[in-house]
Amino acid sequence: MWYWLFKYILLGPLLAAIGRPKVEGLENIPDSGAAILASNHLAVMDSFYLPLVVRRRITFLAKSEYFTGTGVKGRFLAWFYTAVGQVPIDRTNADAAQDALDTAARIIGEGKLLGMYPEGTRSPDGRLYKGKTGLARLALQTGAPVVPVAMIGTDVVNPPGKRGLRPGRVQVKIGKPMDFSRFEGMAGNRFIERAVIDEVMYELMRLSGQEYVDLYAADVKKAALEAADGTGGGKAATSSARIPDTAAG
């Protein structure tokens, strides 16, 4: 109930007035049944503007930090993110990554729309970064179609690192569903999974018009933080060994 109240009464009209969202390709989202909405990730508001323009309810996997705050504010945020359709996942290690995929598979098994960010985190600079293979593994395991979604302008309405929202124009471009049934039975093959996610990222690049960077966004962020701290993090930008290869934003 809260999801629809926020969408149509409590929050949606305000977001619509601020971002004036325009959507293309809405007919590419199935009217029923499971699908994975694979989106680029520019701002926190991606998870609000996409549900605003899609008629069906979308469930997003969200980092657990959104749900673990303390005090009145922490409890309110945990309730709010749950109410607007987000499910907490732990992204700290390989076991947590598998738990996230298990949660995603359950949502798909219930015939729902699952929103995922294959970059694994928000873009640090507006460019499109290398996709993690968790989404590909999920698509191959469940057989769910992957619908590429390009969010454009959300980083203007919701600038990273800034509080509050600013007037702008949000565009949502939805591509045709991608069917990977030709790879049936090949989940777990890292070469196939890489081929699948690269195909998805190509579609996101084409839809969004973003420049593509063949590095993981999380590594780039980590390297920038280490460089700022003077700890010599230059190696981090070319290594993803410590980053769980999942697809949640």
The fraction of the chain above a pLDDT of 90, given in percent, is: 69
Mean pLDDT across the stretch 4-8?
A: 92
132 DSSP 8-state letter? P
Nearest-angstrom CA–CA distance, 177 and 134:
18
Nearest-angstrom CA–CA distance, 207 and 77:
32
Helix (H) or strand (E) holding 128: strand 128-129
Provide the 10 A C-beta neighbour count for residue 233. Answer: 16
Which pLDDT score, from 0 to 100, does residue 162 have?
87
For 45-96, the pLDDT digits (tens) are 999 999 999 999 999 987 777 787 888 888 898 898 888 888 877 766 666 6
What is the pTM (predicted TM-score) of this model? 0.86
20 in helix, strand or coil?
Answer: coil
Does the structural domain 1-219 have CATH classification 3.40.1130.10? yes
Q: Any idea what the Cα angle at residue 50 is, between residues 44 and 58, rounded to 5°? A: 100
- Could you tell me the residue ranges of all domains in the chain? 1-219
Q: Are 4 and 153 in contact (CB under 8 A)?
A: no
Which pLDDT score, from 0 to 100, does residue 248 have?
46
